[in-house]
A and B are shown apart, each in its own frame.
Chain A
Amino acid sequence: MSRLRIPVGSQDHLIGPPTARLTFVEYGDFECPYCGAAYWEVNKVLAAMGDQLRYVFRHFPLTEAHPFAMQAAEAAEAADAQGRFWEMHRLLYENQEALDAESLLAYARTLDLDMGRFARDLSEHRFLERIRRDFMGGVRSGVSGTPGFFINGRGYLGDFSAPALLSVLQGGDVGVPDYS
């Protein structure tokens, strides 16, 4: 249970150099309050680890529990298509209480996206399949809820506060990356 089955690759959203010693993968849901709490902790981790860490975000929307999670994930992908994934990711997590269609359009406007294209990508559900693929990859890797974390391919089930994460990430025994 809980080994990352889908290697990190060019299809992923990632921050940090490919040569980083550590790869930290999160399966997240934009509407999940635990992911919302983890967002701030992960930011602290990224700031503290700098170039030592590569961070990957994959979608894991639990749409039955979170009715806005899928459209929020689609908005992140639509922003990605215009090169602004991480900015949208930030806006979504910092405004978790407002993920309705109108708010998503407002965030896109804030990012100065091509609005026609953004709205079309959402209404045509252009990225739905990609999001489902992320989700199923997570399920098959043993992700059972959100946020689901992997450190160098190994499932991390512990506390996700920044100090706890940093002590594991900086503490040594996190194995070697099983992908390049």
Chain B
Amino acid sequence: MARSVKQPDAPLPPGTPAPPIDAPVSPDQRLSLEQFRGAPLVLVFYPADWSPVCSDELSLFNELLPEFERLGAKVVGVSCDGVWCHQAFARERGLHMMLASDFHPKGALSRAYHVYREDDGVCERALFVIDPEGKIFWSYVSPMEVNPGADGVLDALERLTGTFSSEAAGGQSQQEASP
């Protein structure tokens, strides 16, 4: 794919095979990328449970779950909090999406997607759309304090579901200029 130079503040770009996922989503359940083969996956990286912007951001994605379902996509939140923290957070906020814990080894998943902030020990506020074959289709990093909204993800999903079935795979990734 185009540029393989690692920019610490750039998320893995479109066209890149999505790095494997092996992270717990509950005390006794782990998540893997293979589970999502055949359907688009939206990864919502957010810095921490409970912090106000994150909660708004997840509330919005939570509200939009029926819309994502209509587009055939699954949504998973990711932060470096532990599973028990995730559980309490999800219960308190009525979140219905899975929250993956990138707590141990800390930040491994975020690092693999180039969205870990070494200085802060948390992940970026980043969004990824992964295509049904496990390749990154769209990615975006938002400034920490800015809720990125869901328009970029929905636009990407529509392009993906509109184009993917007709175009034979082939990494026809559309690089999105930051919205």
Contact = CB atoms under 8 A, between A and B. Distances in A.
B156 to A, nearest CB: 12
Contact of B63 (A1, A62, A141): A62
B27 interface: no
Contacts of A142: 149, 151, 179
Contacts of A124: none
B176 to A, nearest CB: 11
A63 B65 CA distance: 12
Contact of B149 (A62, A63, A65, A144): A144
Where chain A touches its partner, the secondary structure class is loop
Interface string B71-97: 000000000000000000000011110
Contacts of A144: 56-57, 60, 147-150
A140 B60 contact: no
A64 B94 contact: yes
A139 B147 contact: no
Interface string A1-41: 11000000000000000000000000000000000000000
Contacts of B147: 144-145
Where chain B touches its partner, the secondary structure class is helix
Contact of A143 (B67, B96, B146, B149): B149
A128 to B, nearest CB: 13
A131 interface: no
Given A64-B94, A65-B93, A145 B60 contact: yes
B64 interface: yes
A91 interface: no
A139 B60 contact: yes
A114 B118 CA distance: 62
Interface of B: 56-57, 59-60, 62-64, 67, 93-96, 146-152, 154-155, 179
